Amino acid sequence: MSYWLIKSEGDCYSIDKFCKDKKTLWTGIRNFQARNYMMKDMKIGDLCLFYHSNDKPSGVYGLAKVTSQSVPDPTQFLEKDEHFDRKSKKEKPLWFCVEMSFVKKYPSVLSLEDIKKDTVLKVMQVAKRGNRLSVTPVSTSCFKRVEKILN
């Protein structure tokens, strides 16, 4: 099983909304590298750190679990949707998503500042300068470290 970090803007789709929904299609990813991770490497049962960007503070707020294989992202075909993509055709969709199920919200937040200060976690992609990828792999040791700090 693999571990991931998935980003969401706090005021766009928050951990609290996710907690109410229990599960959601992780739609709206419009970056090929992030898409490829979801399409090819994510497996059912993988665990994902749920990260808020552009929040106070930005950081890890909760945990999600992958509960489906990748399927075409329905929002790419919705003309009124902000994620509509005119280049994508139903016969050959461009964008894919997986279903995420809510696991838990952590009792506290692991802020980006904390991640950068931690000797183990500072190698995480999210801590790197200029990082913009919204789906990134997380090593087992980093995942265990996050769980240990937050539980």
Partner DNA sequence: GCCAACGTTGGC
Report CA-CA distances (Å) from 49 to 16, 79, 92, 125, 128: 14, 31, 30, 13, 17
Considering the complex, state which of residue 21 and residue 32 has its C-beta at the smaller distance from DNA.
32
Please report, as ranges, the residues that interact with DNA according to CB under 7 A.
Answer: 7, 9, 30-33, 53-54, 58, 87, 112-113, 126, 129-134
Considering the complex, state which of residue 7 and residue 145 has its C-beta at the smaller distance from DNA.
7
C-alpha closest to that of 124 among 145, 103, 95, 151: 145
DSSP string of 7-52? EEETTTS-HHHHHHHSEEE------HHHHHIIIII--TT-EEEEEE
In whole angstroms, how close is the CB of 139 to DNA at the nearest point?
19
Considering the complex, state which of residue 22 and residue 129 has its C-beta at the smaller distance from DNA.
129
In whole angstroms, how close is the CB of 30 to DNA at the nearest point?
7
In whole angstroms, how close is the CB of 90 to DNA at the nearest point?
19
